[in-house]
Structure formats: structure tokens, C-alpha cells
């Protein structure tokens, strides 16, 4: 018999349906009957037949025709909202927002798995898990370590030993011994009281990353969580049942307590959850609709679920992956701008950069050489000014290897820290099954990823800073030899005048966001946690800085392509022409002023999806292989496209 979960004002109601040929109108009235039955004043409804309402799906808020039959328009266990005429939407109802997330836009249940062992997950893997590209399973070795760790904790409880967080309270209450009969309540109270975050919820992608990373840490076998609980977490992940996790509230030591508590609270069947099937609803109904059981906490398990740096690290993984993607595309965009401004390639001569052999600087110079005028890729634009009297270019063009280069080296440094943190045990106390003891320590402190992400923000910001100056050169006729603001009939048309202002505004915001949060610390928990990392804010603002960098470079790419229009019929090099064609497939040239914001966003999406790199990257790789093999980097993927998934860690669903 099909069932439906109906949201009426402040309540979620399960409505069974014996006859699926009943109408949507019948379903609405049946839900109303159940609603007023539990209200002493009938919920203010005097005559149920006089109530006027509409019914809509929770996911997407699509209206349902009251005369349609249930079997024609709804699936079993679907979630619907009943909106009574005259009511405002309940504050308790959190609608999904189509278009804001990869998962909300087009979620397809994955068929492949990543096997987690707590030791080999990468930031790239984690971002792909966030996008919903893989499910999760544990390796047999990880399962065995989890079981052994739990057995030790069960022994501790049976022997009535006093151990922090297992048979005692937390923080300032560490000396308060809790009776065995209250240990389950202790863990549940921990999650409820610590679920005190505020702000907008993490989107589905980021919540999936957070949940996947916490599972990976627990899979190491040093937290004492039971295999049953870990399996239920994995089942929730694989069904994409995602808790409501506010983005604000962590100080980054003793771990990301507030966000991880919200994450665990939903798994416990309390609070809110989201799934592609339900949209937002009460967690217990979302789990039930997917045939899942809430986790039932054993001693120490509440603490095991919330102690760690997974909020900082999961957001940091996204930040560093996006930073890496935009950094290599920034080289391509800058090369196109240099062509439009009729710059010289001499500043990228390999001999210059061998005299200052920073890896990032050499890499960027090599990319410029592979994209700009050469015997490999001749440029008609470059040929047109070969005998001009210009000796050297402005720093924003000439010094790209030095400025972009240190950004690459910064990203590499931060990525190593993030990948180490991804596979680190950050719980407290640690459970060492092989030693037969638990040890309290400080691995939950977020200083490592916090400092690294502050550094990332400072480093990657420079890509936007130098890009904005190149946009100025493109728009300023005194510097570009092109029409003012890259448009004909200036005055009647403003062209890129305010697009440049937008870039300047974003760069200015970044200057404030680059102030490091990890230099701050406020004592918490009655001075028990008297030094904290503030890593949650470091991660969130690093992500915002990266996004601003992407947007500024999107404006530069649009401006450079517009500059090309004024140099036609001359053509640039083959790879840069391919980039131009990619942009023009999305955005037409500016003949006169038009609504610009959506087109900036469209090009921003090209950069986020790495399409500019996918177009130009193979030419860079080919140049490196065929013309200067001695310059190939030691890393085989430094110039290549993203490598395919490792067959060692991916197992196709049978």
C-alpha cells in the first residue's frame, strides 16, 4: 500500500493510500483530517470541507492538479506540501532551491563505488563524492579495524573504567562520571546540545563531502564507533540523505563540533534532512522513505561523530581543487589578453626562468610559450606587430610567470596539507586497540588546515588582482589601442565599463577576505578549550575568494574575446582560437549594449567546469611532449587533463 508524507503547516503526516486511483484532492483532505485530529482547537479549522488548498511537490515546489489521480502523478513515499489558502508558508518548511546545486539540478544515482580505508582518499575524490559521482563502501581491512576498536570500548564500559567522553561528561564536565544506564542518553544529549549552528545550510554537494570525509576518518579505526553505526552512515550517504548543517558556529577546536553535530543529528532521525527524492523534510521521514533506520548511539559514539576538522577540511578540499583549476586556466586567459594587447613573448624565454627556477614560475612560462606565437603555433596577430618599437610590456603581462607561478606553488603546498588532513585521525580520545588503551590528545585542533586555507586565500587572490589590471588595460584606449570599453559608438554604448567596475569590486572584497582568521583565538568551554583555530571561517572565506577570482577571470576572458573582434581578420594561435570559439559558442560579440550579467555567469560556469582548460590543455601537453621533452614536469599530470579514476579504488556496481 503506497504512503505519502504530507507537510501541513507545522507538521509532517504520513498518509496511507489504499486506492491509488484516488485524487490529489482526496489526499489533501485526508492529510487535513489527520492534522486537525491532533489539535485541541482543530488547528483553527471549523469546517474541513470549506478549506481551500493547493498541493505541490516538496522537491521543486511543482503544483499538482487536484483532479489528477495519485497513481498518475506521485510515486510511493513521495513528499508533498499542502498550502492552505490564507496561510503563509510555514517557517518550519525549508524548500529546496533548484539550480543552486549539482545534485538538485540533475542527480543520477551513481553506479560506481569508492572504497574507503581512511588512508587513501584525495581532495579530488572528495569533490567527486560531493558531486554525487560515486557511492561509498569500506575495505575489509577497515571493517576489521573498526570492529577491533569497538571491542576495546565495550570492554571499558563493562569494566566500569573512567575514561573521558565514554563514561564521563565533556569539556569542563570531564570529571563528572556518568552511570552506565545513562551512557546512551549522554551521547544523544551531546549531539542535541552541540547542534547550535546558525546561518544558511551547506548545499547538498558540501554536505555529501562532509559526511563522506567523516566516514573516511571513522574508517581508520581509531574512534571506537561500531561497524553497525558506520554502515548506517554509509547507507545514508549512498541514498543521498543529507542532514541540515548550518555553515556557521565552529571555532575549529575541539574540532568542528557544531556542524558535525548537525550532521549526526539528522542521522539520528532528528532535525531536518534533504534528499533528491524528498527535498527538505523531517529527518525521520526522509530516512524512512529510503528504507533506512536512524543510528542508535552506543557509548562514545556521539563524541566519535563530532570530534574532528571535517568541516574545515571538506570545504578546504573544494577550495583547493577549484583554486588549482582556475590557476591553470588563468594562464590561458592571460595569454589571450597578451595577444589582444599585442604583447611580446620574449619575457617567457626559458633561459630567463632557469635563472630563477621556482617550479611554479617555470611551469607558467612554459604554458605561455606553448600557447603563444611560435613555430608550433604561428599567430597572425603577433606577426602584425613584429617590427614595432615597443621594447617591453607592462608588469601585468610580462610578470605573469612570477605572479601566477607563486600561486601554483601555494596551491601545491596547501593541497598537501589538505590531503594529509583528509586521511588523518582527528578524534579524541583515540582508541588504540593494539595497545588496549585510549589516549587523549589534540588532533581535533584545526590549526593546520586553518593556516593553510588562509595562505590559499592570500595566494589565489593575486590571480584576480593582476587580472583586474589587465581588464583595465583592455578597456582603456590609451593603453590598448582599441575602442574605449571595447565597444563601438562609445557614449551611446558603455561596453565593458561597469564589468570592469564589478571586477574591481570583487578584488576589493578579496582584500578584506584575505585577512587571516587563524590568527584569532577566543577561549571557549570554560577555558578548557583555551586556544582555537577559527578554521571554519578560514575555509568559508577561502572558498569565497576562489569564487571571486573565477568571476574576475571570467570578465577578463569576455573582454579579451571582445578585443579579438577589433583585430579581425587577423587570427591568433590555434589553441587560443579554440578558446575564443568556446566562449563564442556561449556569448556572442558585443555590437551594442545588452544585459551583461547572465553572460558573465555563463562564462564563469565554463571556468568552474574547466572547459577552457579542457580545450587548451591538450595543446599545452602536446607542445611539452613534442618540442621540449626535457621540460616535461616530474608530475605526469601537471599539464595533462585530470587523470581518470584509479581502478584500485573504484569498483563498478555489480
In angstroms, the CA 646 to CA 638 distance is 17
- CA 520: distance to chain centroid? 25
Q: What does the block give as the cell for 103?
A: 545534485
In angstroms, the CA 273 to CA 643 distance is 34
Residue in this structure with the C-alpha cell 589582444, named with its chain if needed: 340
Q: What does the block give as the cell for 293?
A: 533506520
Q: What is the DSSP letter of 173?
A: G
In angstroms, the CA 409 to CA 225 distance is 38
Q: How many Cβ atoms from other residues are within 10 Å of residue 349's Cβ?
A: 11
**Residue 315: CA count within 13 A, CB half-sphere:** 33
In angstroms, the CA 230 to CA 222 distance is 13
Residue in this structure with the C-alpha cell 470549506, named with its chain if needed: 50
Strands 135-138, 112-116: pairing kind:
parallel
In angstroms, the CA 552 to CA 560 distance is 12
Strands 11-16, 3-8: pairing kind:
antiparallel
In angstroms, the CA 496 to CA 485 distance is 5
Q: CA dihedral in degrees (71, 72, 78, 83; nearest 10)?
A: -110
Type and span of the H or E element at 144: helix 140-158
Write down the catalytic residue from 35, 113, 134, 164. 164
Query: Do 92 and 63 contact (CB within 8 A), yes or no?
Result: no
Q: Dihedrals φ, ψ of 282, to 5°?
A: -60, 140
In angstroms, the CA 369 to CA 360 distance is 14
In angstroms, the CA 304 to CA 29 distance is 45
DSSP 49-114: GG--EEEEETTTT-EE-TTSBHHHH--TT-EEEEEETTPPPPTT-----TTSSHHHHH-----EEE
Q: Is 395 a catalytic residue?
A: no
In angstroms, the CA 303 to CA 24 distance is 45
In angstroms, the CA 552 to CA 510 distance is 11
Query: Do 337 and 562 contact (CB within 8 A), yes or no?
Result: no
Active-site residues: which are they? 164
Amino acid at each position: 500500500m503506497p504512503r505519502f508524507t504530507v507537510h501541513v503547516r507545522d507538521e509532517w503526516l504520513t498518509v496511507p493510500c489504499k486506492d491509488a486511483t484516488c485524487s490529489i484532492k482526496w489526499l489533501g483532505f485526508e492529510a487535513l483530517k489527520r492534522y486537525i485530529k491532533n489539535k485541541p482547537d482543530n488547528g483553527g479549522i471549523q469546517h474541513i470541507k470549506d478549506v481551500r488548498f493547493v498541493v505541490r511537490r516538496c522537491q521543486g515546489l511543482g503544483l499538482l492538479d487536484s483532479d489528477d489521480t495519485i497513481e498518475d502523478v506521485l510515486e510511493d513515499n513521495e513528499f508533498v506540501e499542502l498550502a492552505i489558502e490564507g496561510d503563509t508558508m510555514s517557517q518550519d518548511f525549508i524548500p529546496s532551491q533548484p539550480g543552486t546545486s549539482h545534485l538538485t539540478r540533475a542527480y543520477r544515482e551513481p553506479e560506481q563505488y569508492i572504497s574507503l580505508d581512511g588512508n587513501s582518499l584525495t581532495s579530488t575524490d572528495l569533490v567527486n563524492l560531493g558531486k554525487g559521482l560515486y557511492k561509498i563502501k569500506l575495505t575489509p581491512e577497515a571493517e576489521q579495524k573498526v570492529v577491533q576498536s569497538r571491542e576495546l570500548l565495550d570492554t571499558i564500559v563493562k569494566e566500569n573504567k573512567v575514561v573521558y567522553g565514554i563514561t564521563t561528561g565533556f569539556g569542563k564536565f570531564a570529571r563528572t562520571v556518568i552511570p552506565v544506564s545513562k551512557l546512551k542518553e549522554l551521547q544523544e544529549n551531546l549531539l542535541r546540545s552541540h547542534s547550535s549552528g546558525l546561518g544558511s545550510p551547506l548545499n547538498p554537494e558540501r554536505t555529501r563531502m562532509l559526511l563522506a570525509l567523516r566516514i573516511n576518518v571513522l574508517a581508520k579505526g581509531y574512534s571506537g564507533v561500531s561497524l553497525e553505526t558506520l554502515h548506517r552512515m554509509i547507507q545514508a550517504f549512498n541514498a543521498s540523505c543529507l542532514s541540515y548543517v548550518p555553515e556557521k558556529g565552529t571555532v575549529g577546536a575541539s574540532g568542528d563540533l557544531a556542524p558535525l553535530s548537525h550532521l549526526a543529528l539528522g542521522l539520528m532521525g532528528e532535525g531536518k534532512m534533504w534528499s533528491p527524492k524528498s527535498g527538505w523534510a523531517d529527518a525521520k521521514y526522509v530516512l524512512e522513505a529510503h528504507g533506512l533506520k536512524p543510528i542508535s548511539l552506543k557509548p562514545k559514539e556521539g563524541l566519535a561523530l563530532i570530534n574532528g576538522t571535517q568541516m574545515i577540511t571538506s570545504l578546504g578540499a573544494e577550495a583547493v581543487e577549484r583554486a588549482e583549476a582556475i590557476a591553470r586556466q588563468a594562464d590561458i586567459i592571460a595569454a589571450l589578453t597578451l595577444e589582444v594587447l599585442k604583447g611580446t613573448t620574449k619575457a617567457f624565454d626559458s633561459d630567463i626562468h632557469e635563472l630563477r627556477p621556482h617550479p611554479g614560475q617555470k611551469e607558467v612560462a612554459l604554458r605561455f610559450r606553448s600557447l603563444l606565437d611560435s613555430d608550433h603555433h604561428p599567430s597572425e596577430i603577433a606577426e602584425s606587430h613584429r617590427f614595432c618599437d615597443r621594447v617591453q610590456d607592462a608588469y601585468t603581462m610580462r610578470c605573469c610567470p612570477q605572479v601566477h607561478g607563486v600561486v601554483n606553488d601555494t596551491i601545491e603546498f596547501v593541497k598537501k596539507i589538505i590531503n594529509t588532513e583528509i586521511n588523518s585521525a582527528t578524534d579524541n580520545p583515540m582508541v588504540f586497540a593494539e595497545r588496549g588503551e585510549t589516549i587523549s590528545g589534540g588532533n581535533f585542533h584545526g590549526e593546520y588546515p586553518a593556516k593553510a586555507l588562509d595562505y590559499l586565500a592570500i595566494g589565489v587572490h593575486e590571480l584576480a588582482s593582476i587580472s583586474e589590471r589587465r581588464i583595465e588595460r583592455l578597456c582603456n584606449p590609451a593603453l590598448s589601442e582599441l575602442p574605449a570599453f571595447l565597444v563601438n559608438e562609445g557614449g551611446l554604448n558603455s561596453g565593458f565599463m561597469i564589468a570592469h567596475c564589478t571586477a574591481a569590486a570583487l578584488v576589493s572584497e578579496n582584500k578584506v577576505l584575505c585577512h587571516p582568521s587563524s590568527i584569532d583565538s577566543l577561549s571557549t568551554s570554560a577555558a578548557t578549550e583555551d586556544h582555537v583555530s577559527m578554521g571554519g571561517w578560514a575555509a568559508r572565506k577561502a572558498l569565497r575568494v576562489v569564487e571571486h577570482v573565477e568571476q574576475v577571470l571570467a570578465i577578463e576572458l569576455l573582454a579579451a574575446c571582445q578585443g579579438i573582434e577589433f583585430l579581425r581578420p587577423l587570427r591568433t594561435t590555434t589553441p587560443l582560437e579554440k578558446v575564443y570559439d568556446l566562449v563564442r559558442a556561449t556569448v556572442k560579440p558585443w555590437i551594442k549594449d545588452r544585459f551583461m550579467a547572465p553572460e558573465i555567469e555563463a562564462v564563469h560556469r565554463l571556468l568552474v567546469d574547466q572547459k577552457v582548460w579542457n580545450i587548451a590543455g591538450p595543446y599545452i601537453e602536446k607542445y611539452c611532449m613534442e618540442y621540449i621533452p626535457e621540460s616535461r614536469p616530474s608530475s605526469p599530470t601537471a599539464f595533462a587533463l585530470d587523470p581518470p579514476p584509479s581502478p584500485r579504488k573504484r569498483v563498478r556496481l555489480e
